Amino acid sequence: MKLELRDVLMRGKWYKEEDSEYEVEYWLEKSSLQLFYTENLIEEFGYKNCDEIKKSGHFIPFFKTDIIALQKKFIENYPDKAVEETMNDIIKNNNYGYNSGYDVAFRILTQDYAEFRKFSDDYYDFEKKQLLKDAEQWCKENNIPYYTENDSERKLDLRNTLLYAFGGECDDGEGGWKPFTFWFCRADFRILDPADISVYYGYENDEDIAASGLFIPLFKVNDEDMDYDDSVVLKIAEQWAVENNIPYYISRDRPDHLGSQFEETEI
């Protein structure tokens, strides 16, 4: 068994200046090579904190790439100095701090300034390469077998969709939160939220994303069904994959030290 890095790469993005309840947000389970949220391990599997998760011996903290530091480094070294000047103006005009709010200013720069489209493309290509480099280094340091599969031979591991099955929430612009659905990219088999799609591909809403033909909305399990165990959600995922002609496989079941905490059914 090997870890397909491109399936989990985006989970390595880390924003140092953002408040986080946990020192580590994601963990790789050693025997199954499955990725878990810290919150899930605490709320569903009885761990009390990150220290207890680490001491269990079953998990490795996932790699983290400091995105703010990456953005600053790229801008400071970018040959077109108008980019850096505009970025400083955005920060100043919106009262953003050089640390706090930097990513918000960066998104404004890459999304709202058509004249900097080349810069935006250059940066996000740079970011993906750095994420892959950091992920590979993390795998080597922790003796994790990994690969980056050829696109023509790819299959989606449906267990990796479990992280996204219940959707997410984002700022509604009016001081509240609104739900959103994740999207599956046909080209590279990544699962992205609408904000990332806007940054990487320029589509601003669900209608444009769907019309592109590049993305398929990921299945979504209703909130009232939050007590579904993995086997039930995987059946929903499998039906979704079949309906959308997505080549897939299902990696091994949860490891015994986690699987014993709920009932499993046959897939």
Cα separation of 147 and 225, whole Å?
Answer: 34
Compute the average pLDDT of residues 26-30: 92
Mean pLDDT is highest, among 45-49, 73-77, 144-148, for: 73-77
Looking at residue 259, its pLDDT comes to: 55
pLDDT digits (tens, 9 = 90+) for 113-161: 888 888 988 998 899 899 999 999 999 999 999 887 654 467 888 888 8
Average per-residue pLDDT for the chain: 83
Kindly report the backbone phi and psi dihedral angles of residue 169, in degrees, each rounded to the nearest multiple of 5, phi listed first. -135, 150
Looking at residue 18, its pLDDT comes to: 63
pLDDT greater at residue 250 or residue 151:
250
Looking at residue 164, its pLDDT comes to: 87
Cα separation of 193 and 231, whole Å?
Answer: 24
Q: State the DSSP string of 117-152.
A: HHHHHHHHHHHHHHHHHHHHHHHHHTT--EE---GG
Cα separation of 163 and 108, whole Å?
Answer: 28
pTM of the model: 0.64
Q: How many CB atoms lie within 10 A of CB 155?
A: 14
Sheet holding 183-185, edge to edge: 191-192, 183-185, 215-217
